[in-house]
């Protein structure tokens, strides 16, 4: 559904995005994460056809990014989405339905259903008089007015209270369940982890890691095992009437089992603790920064 090859964007000779390559399958949720200035928003705007790439290519739904036909199949939500504040939610959405040539009866049904799903109240109040959360819901409804196949969301829950944030993340997940292809960025990695099929981690304009959460954890995270025993074994600590030893391999788990048996006890529980996406991200980002610093220090120009 989305194909990106060697995408690059320069501003005054500075690469904001450098050599990005990835694909997103139909119905997949693909997250792009990274620190501020990593190139996330620039990437999403190139996919949406709002920025012309310096080099490389991007296609969405079988069309080059920016083609008029592609835009009919796309819903885009920028991080900052000013609305026509003198309009109401209903008039605003009907206005955009007209721009997309959506028949009036279809538009009316679609608007009512979408606003109901978003639990949006005060549909006939001017948008300048509603909360930021309600404005964000209207902007999301606007992105769906043409019933797009692909959704590109830049920080869909940016700056919202926790309740509204969770509601919008859940709504985004439901859109994926309905078969929408979704690419989005977010600073809250817990939300990314909860709904994404795959993730790309960007840093300093480049994609430095990509894959599903299991792949990222295996390649860049850590797995430890907490082995609970009925008797004290080397390197264990007392906890709630038992003893726990933290080890990093299954061989060490087996060695703990043998040590417990030799001491007249047994293993009663084994718990696996894997790195979260946030921990993986920090490992990748810090490692990348270290690589850049090392390269700079070894350079004759440094």
What is the per-residue pLDDT for 167? 87
- Both 49 and 100 in one domain: the answer is yes
Cβ partners under 8 Å of residue 109, min gap 6: none
- Both 211 and 232 in one domain: the answer is no
CA distance 266 to 243: 10
Question: Which CATH number fits the domain that encloses residue 247?
Answer: 3.30.1490
What is the per-residue pLDDT for 301? 35
Q: How many domains does the chain have?
A: 2
pTM of the model: 0.79
Backbone angles phi, psi at 297, to 5 degrees: -70, -30
- Both 29 and 129 in one domain: the answer is yes
- Both 182 and 262 in one domain: the answer is no
What is the per-residue pLDDT for 122? 85
Q: What pLDDT digit, counting tens, does each position of 202-230 carry? A: 999 999 999 998 888 888 878 889 999 99
HEC states along 137-167? HHHHHHHCCCCCCEEEEECCCCCCCHHHHHH
208 domain-assigned: yes
What is the per-residue pLDDT for 287? 62
293 domain-assigned: no
What is the per-residue pLDDT for 164? 86
What is the per-residue pLDDT for 145? 95
What is the per-residue pLDDT for 292? 45
Question: End of a domain among 175, 197, 217?
Answer: 217
Beta bridge partners, 150, equal 74, 181
Residue 58 near residue 4, CB atoms below 8 Å: yes
- Both 92 and 152 in one domain: the answer is yes
- Both 10 and 117 in one domain: the answer is yes
Q: Which domain holds residue 28?
A: 2-217
Per-residue pLDDT of the chain (302 residues; tens, 9 = 90+): 899 999 999 998 899 999 999 999 999 999 999 888 899 999 999 999 999 999 999 999 889 987 888 988 999 999 988 899 999 999 999 999 999 999 999 999 999 999 998 888 889 999 999 999 999 999 999 999 999 999 999 999 877 888 888 888 888 888 999 999 999 998 888 888 888 999 999 999 999 999 998 888 888 878 889 999 999 999 999 998 999 999 988 899 999 999 999 999 999 999 888 777 778 888 887 765 444 434 444 333 32
What's the distance, CA 84 to chain centroid?
Answer: 28
Residue 196 near residue 37, CB atoms below 8 Å: no
Question: Which CATH number fits the domain that encloses residue 138?
Answer: 3.40.50.300
What is the per-residue pLDDT for 168? 87
Residue 10 near residue 54, CB atoms below 8 Å: yes
């Amino acid at each position: 559904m989305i194909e990106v090859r060697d995408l690059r964007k320069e501003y005054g000779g500075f690469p904001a995005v450098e050599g990005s390559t990835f694909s997103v399958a139909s119905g997949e949720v693909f997250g792009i994460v990274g620190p501020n200035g990593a190139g996330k928003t620039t990437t999403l705007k190139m996919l949406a056809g709002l920025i012309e790439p310096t080099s490389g290519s991007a296609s969405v739904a079988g069309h080059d990014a920016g083609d008029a036909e592609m835009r009919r199949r796309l819903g885009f939500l920028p991080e900052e989405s000013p609305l026509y504040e003198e309009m109401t939610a209903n008039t605003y959405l009907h206005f955009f339905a007209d721009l997309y040539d959506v028949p009036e009866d279809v538009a009316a049904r679609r608007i009512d259903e979408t606003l109901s799903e978003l639990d949006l109240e005060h549909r006939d109040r001017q948008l300048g008089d509603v909360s930021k959360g309600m404005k964000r819901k209207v902007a999301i409804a606007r992105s769906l007015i043409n019933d797009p196949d692909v959704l590109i969301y830049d920080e869909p829950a940016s700056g919202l209270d926790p309740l509204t944030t969770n509601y919008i993340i859940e709504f985004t997940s439901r859109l994926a369940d309905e078969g929408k292809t979704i690419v989005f960025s977010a600073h809250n990695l817990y939300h990314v982890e909860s709904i994404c099929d795959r993730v790309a981690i960007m840093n300093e304009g480049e994609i430095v890691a990509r894959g599903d959460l299991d792949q990222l954890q295996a390649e860049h995270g850590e797995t430890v095992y907490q082995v609970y025993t009925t008797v004290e074994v080397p390197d264990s600590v007392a906890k709630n009437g038992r003893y726990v030893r933290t080890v990093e391999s299954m061989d060490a788990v087996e060695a703990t089992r043998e040590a417990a048996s030799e001491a007249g006890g047994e293993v009663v529980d084994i718990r696996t603790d894997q790195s979260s996406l946030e921990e993986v991200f920090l490992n990748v980002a810090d490692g990348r920064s270290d690589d850049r610093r090392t390269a700079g220090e070894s350079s004759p120009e440094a």
